[in-house]
Chain A
Amino acid sequence: MLILSACIEQSTDNSSTNTNSPKSSLESLDSTPKSEPSPSSLYKPGSAEGPAQNVPFPAMPAEARKFTEDGAKSFTLYYFDLLNYAIDSTDTKEIERISEDDCTICYKSIIDEAEEIKKAHRWQVGGKHQAVVIDSHISGKNIAIVTVEFTSDVGKVYSAPSVVHEKLQKQDATSLAFDLSYNKGWTVHKIMGVE
């Protein structure tokens, strides 16, 4: 029965994350009095009507800068934060900075894709990714391999208000290994699936 309940928990988790995460970032915005958010600077999630607005930029945790197994873990999870941020904002500046040039998946699945969506004046709602680290080790001089299991939610890409350009399916738990380099900070050398 535990197996079953774990399954149910997971599926409810998936459906709730989408609504939870923008809420929590709203709350954190509200609790910082110094910025005095005017209604126009509040985060507005993307919808059928238009793309997300004022998407809060995720800050890199201090841990993610360290050359340790935990640092590599934290960095990899941060990469997923940036991916979700790119989905909302199509801003790939930071994710490009920490992705090495020959990282195929970094470019093909994220950076180039975001450029394309932006150029075509489309926007994506949903399709956010959630990752859990299942293995992390320093494998060489300035290299770490971090394996995650990730899922992604259903989503839609709109080409105009209420005009669905494409529907994104839910992705079931999939393992991915991140081959990272360290040079005054982590970068993604390669992302690889499990055969």
Chain B
Amino acid sequence: MGALLKLMMAMMLTLPIAAASPPTNIVPASFRQTIPMGLGIDGNDIEEQRKEQDSKVVTPTAGPPPDPDSKDNAENKRRVSNKQKKYHIRDYQTCVPGTENTKGCDSNPDQSTCPDGTYPIIRQLLDNNGRLVNQYQYCPGDPPKMEIPEDGRIEEAPRAIIITVEKFRSYPIKASKIQSSPNKFSLRNGHTHFWASKEVQEFKSEISDQNVKIKAIPIQWNWNYGDGSTRNLNFPGEAMPSHTLHDETKTSHSYTKTGKFGVTVTTLYRGEFSVDGGPWQAIPGQAAVPSNSLPIDVWRTEKELIAND
């Protein structure tokens, strides 16, 4: 045992001490920070245009200005709601990491994320003619930026089945399973290899007498190593039977401190659905499914063995 440890330590000595990787830098896609001028479209102009636009848009929930003479508020409200404009809603997803191949697009690795790690959906509000009225990012569960009352929405196609991200998230999507090498154990400054499972899951549902199939496709694995460092990867990693602690891998992590840590991975799933065997349609938004915690016990080796070498 002593000889083995000694050998290990000799190898460890040649390893550069890996610093804990910083949490993935998530830069909000805010253009307020950059103030380029000159000829070209810049953030200030976009913002000014937005403000101008916003002042033109009458938020449907804002309601009529208070009328002190009105005795019948309900009647008043109804009259206004009949007069109000109707809106189409169109949700779409920008190119998010992990969908480049299916969408044929380039993702922006720095795009801002929702608190649960998923990527925001872009919601467009269009008027009756199809003109763009407003466009904003939203995370499922956010309070609506513009509340459209039911009678203010234009039905796209009556009886069309749409799977919203909220509905998609309600299916029992399984988390990825994680494993480590060495199994649940590591040495300080060694490279612990982690990998997660990758499984496309399918659900069946009957909605309005139609058979709907829903697919959950994993696109991103957001690791939390339990020592304060996190990392988002668009591949799960794989088992490496001959891995040793001095092999850095694409999914390995190096602990700089000893102790017991809990490792989790939150898998982002994008969704697709198909109605009665029809074409698969993309669901904007993703589901974030956290895994169980994998305990890792990180040890250090005896100092005197280093001196002996």
A and B are partners in one complex rather than unrelated chains: yes
- List residues of A whose CB falls within 8 A of some B CB: 1-4, 6-7, 10, 83, 86-87, 90, 104-105, 108-110, 113-114, 117, 124, 127, 129, 132, 134-135, 137-141, 143, 145, 147, 149-150, 152, 155, 157, 166, 168-177, 179, 189-195
Q: Is the CB of A192 within 8 A of B131?
A: no
**Chain A CB within 10 Å, residue with most, of B41, B94, B107:** B41
List 17 additional A-B contacts (Cβ < 8 Å) besides A1-B250, A149-B94. A10-B108, A10-B109, A124-B38, A129-B40, A139-B88, A139-B90, A139-B126, A139-B131, A143-B130, A143-B131, A145-B124, A157-B38, A169-B36, A172-B29, A191-B41, A193-B49, A194-B29
> Can you name the residue of chain B whose Cβ is closest to the Cβ of A189?
B131
Contacting residue for B31 out of A83, A174, A192, CB 8 A = A174
Query: B41 and A110: CB pair below 8 A?
Result: yes
Identify which of B59-67, B70-78, B167-175, B232-240 touches chain A.
B232-240
B41 contacts A105, C-beta separation under 8 Å = yes
Does B34 interact with chain A (Cβ within 8 Å)? yes
Binds A, one of B134-142, B184-192, B270-278: B134-142
Contact present for A137 and B38 (CB under 8 Å):
no
Cβ of B105 under 8 Å from chain A: yes
Residue from the list B39, B49, B100 in contact with A191, Cβ < 8 A = B49
User: Which residues does chain A contribute within 8 Å of B50, judged by CB atoms?
Assistant: 192-193, 195
B122 touches A175 (CB 8 A): yes
Interface residues in B38-86 by Cβ distance below 8 A to A read 38-43, 45-50, 52-53
Size bin of chain B's contact surface: 35 or more
Q: Indicate whether B218 reaches chain A with its CB closer than 8 angstroms.
A: no
Interface membership of B111, Cβ < 8 A: yes
Q: Which A residues lie within 8 Å of B232 (CB)?
A: 3
Tally A-B pairs: CB < 8 A. 183
* Interface membership of B3, Cβ < 8 A: no
Q: Are A170 and B34 interface neighbours, CB within 8 A?
A: yes
Residues on A with C-beta less than 8 A from B130 are: 138-141, 143, 145
Complex Cα spacing A75 to B52, Å = 26
| Structural contact, A87 and B35, CB atoms closer than 8 A | no
The secondary structure that dominates the B interface is loop
Give 25 CB contacts A-B under 8 Å: A1-B233, A83-B40, A87-B39, A104-B45, A104-B52, A108-B45, A109-B39, A110-B40, A113-B39, A134-B94, A139-B88, A139-B132, A141-B129, A145-B90, A145-B126, A145-B130, A147-B135, A152-B40, A155-B40, A168-B36, A171-B40, A172-B31, A179-B131, A191-B46, A194-B122
Report B218-257 CB contacts with A as 1/0, cut-off 8 Å. 0000000000000011110000000000000010000000
Q: Does B92 contact A (CB under 8 A)?
A: yes
Whether B40 pairs with A105 at a CB distance below 8 angstroms is no
Q: Is the CB of A177 within 8 A of B132?
A: yes
A177-B124, A189-B131 given; A172·B106 CB < 8 A: no
Listed residue (B95, B97, B135) with the most chain A CB atoms within 10 angstroms of its CB:
B135
The 8 closest A-B pairs by CB, nearest first: A140-B130, A139-B130, A193-B46, A195-B136, A143-B130, A169-B36, A179-B132, A168-B36
B4 at the interface (CB under 8 A from A): no
B75 shortest CB reach to chain A, Å: 33
Minimum distance in angstroms from A28 CB to a CB of chain B:
24
Q: In the complex, what residues of B have CB within 8 A of residue A140's CB?
A: 126, 129-131
Say yes or no: is B147 at the interface (Cβ < 8 Å to chain A): no
Residues of B within 8 A of A104 (CB): 45, 48-49, 52
A145–B41 CB distance below 8 A? no
Q: In the complex, what residues of B have CB within 8 A of residue A172's CB? A: 27, 29, 31, 34, 110
User: CB of B37 within 8 A of chain A?
Assistant: yes
Do A2 and B39 form a contact, CB below 8 Å, given A173-B108, A192-B50?
no
Q: Which residues of A contact B36 (CB under 8 A)?
A: 127, 152, 155, 168-171
CA distance A6 to B27 in the complex (A): 16
